[in-house]
Structure 1
Amino acid sequence: MSKRSNAKYKLDRRMGENIWGRPKSPVNKREYGPGQHGQRRKSKLSDFGIQLRAKQKLKGYYGDVTEKQFRKVYEEAVRMKGDTSQNLIGLLEQRLDMVVYRAKWAPTIFAARQIVNHGHIDVNGEKCNIASRRIKPGDVLSLRKKAQEMALVLEAQGLSEREVPEYVSVDGDGKATYVRVPTLDEVPYPVRMEPNLVVEFYSR
């Protein structure tokens, strides 16, 4: 499991964007970066800088997966047929913690990972606590009885800032079905993600 070692909202401020679309994000109050030099005029980024920023933003959005894990997903996306950037997004959206987040069972991707790690999710009737597990179309996820009554889960279900996307089907009985692998256009990112720049970054 990759453990987050720094404050998650620092990434928001470093990028100057509310990458998770959360109302508590400091970017909603201050758009400049963190630290004493945060208000300095930003210098123009090089092509490498733009690509690195796109990679850091996408990697951070998915719960700050480790560089090793992220690179592994990219290499798998390259080996698959079709557009590498679309494949990359498809693979990231198939992570178990991401499907839990998309089903609105957790208020944040970090909380989704915690719910999975603590064994509150069944996949096709079997308990699974591996957040990075690949979910396939047709797989059924279910919240265990105890989890359905957790304050965290109830809070997430009441959030108005995001909807359940079409590629995840949720019923009111604590069950969700992963319908299909989404395309980039279908993924409800709060900010613009540029996986094509991530592909350029790694293929240098």
Structure 2
Amino acid sequence: MSKRHSTKYKIDRRLGENIWGRPKSPANRREYGPGQHGQRRKGKLSDFGVQLRAKQKLKGYYGDISEKQFIKVYKEASRLKGDTSENLIGLLERRLDAIVYRAKFVPTVFAARQFVNHGHVKVNGQRVNIPSYRCKPGDVIEVKEKSRQMALVLEATQLAERDVPDYIDADHNKMTATFNRVPQFSDVPYPVQMEPNLVIEFYSR
């Protein structure tokens, strides 16, 4: 499992956007970056800078995936038929930790990674502890019975700040979710504007 070196709030502040739409994000109060030079005036970004920022934002949103892992997903997306940027989003949304987060079993995408890693989740009745495990349409994801009363889980199901998207059927009474289909980019409820086309440009330079 790759280690995340920066805190989620620093990712928010570095990018200057509340990328998960969380009410407690410091980006809501301080739009400048962290550290002693955070308030320096920023010049206009070059094309490379714009592409890099789009990549950092998308990579950060899914739990600050490691660069090595992200490049692997990009290469796979570019090999698939169709629009590479749509394929990239589809592959990221098929990650088990992303589905656990989307189904509102946990409050944050970082908690989803840890929740899966600690063995609290089953896919089609089998325990899976790999956050990057790729689900297929029709897969049933469930929280283990012993884990259903965890404070983290109970808190997440009551969150009003986000809804479960229509490509996932979640039942919070049984703590199960069915992954119905691979979503299009337009189906994914990002709180901020994501630009996967710029990410593709960044890697295809």
Structure 1 length normalisation: TM-score? Answer: 0.98
- Measured in 1, the distance between the counterparts of 2:145 and 2:133 equals 21
- Measured in 1, the distance between the counterparts of 2:68 and 2:41 equals 33
- Measured in 2, the distance between the counterparts of 1:75 and 1:6 equals 25
Aligned amino acid, residue 182 of structure 1: P
- Measured in 1, the distance between the counterparts of 2:38 and 2:66 equals 26
- Measured in 2, the distance between the counterparts of 1:176 and 1:38 equals 41
Deviation at 1:62, TM superposition (A): 0.4
Q: Which runs of 4+ in 1 moved over 6 A?
A: none
Q: Specify the alignment match of 1:180 in structure 2.
A: 181
Deviation at 1:25, TM superposition (A): 0.6
Q: Specify the alignment match of 1:190 in structure 2.
A: 191
Structure 2 length normalisation: TM-score? Answer: 0.98
Aligned counterparts, 1:22-171, within 5 A: 22-171=22-171
Identity of aligned pairs, percent?
71
Length, aligned pairs only: 204
- Measured in 2, the distance between the counterparts of 1:11 and 1:122 equals 30
Aligned amino acid, residue 9 of structure 2: Y
- Measured in 2, the distance between the counterparts of 1:5 and 1:41 equals 26
- Measured in 1, the distance between the counterparts of 2:37 and 2:129 equals 41
CA deviations on 1:145-176 (whole Å, 9 max, x unpaired) are: 11110000000001110000000001221111
Match of 1:50, SS state, is helix
Deviation at 1:63, TM superposition (A): 0.4
Structure 2 unmatched ranges of 5 or more: none
- Measured in 2, the distance between the counterparts of 1:57 and 1:5 equals 16
- Measured in 2, the distance between the counterparts of 1:54 and 1:125 equals 37
- Measured in 1, the distance between the counterparts of 2:117 and 2:133 equals 11
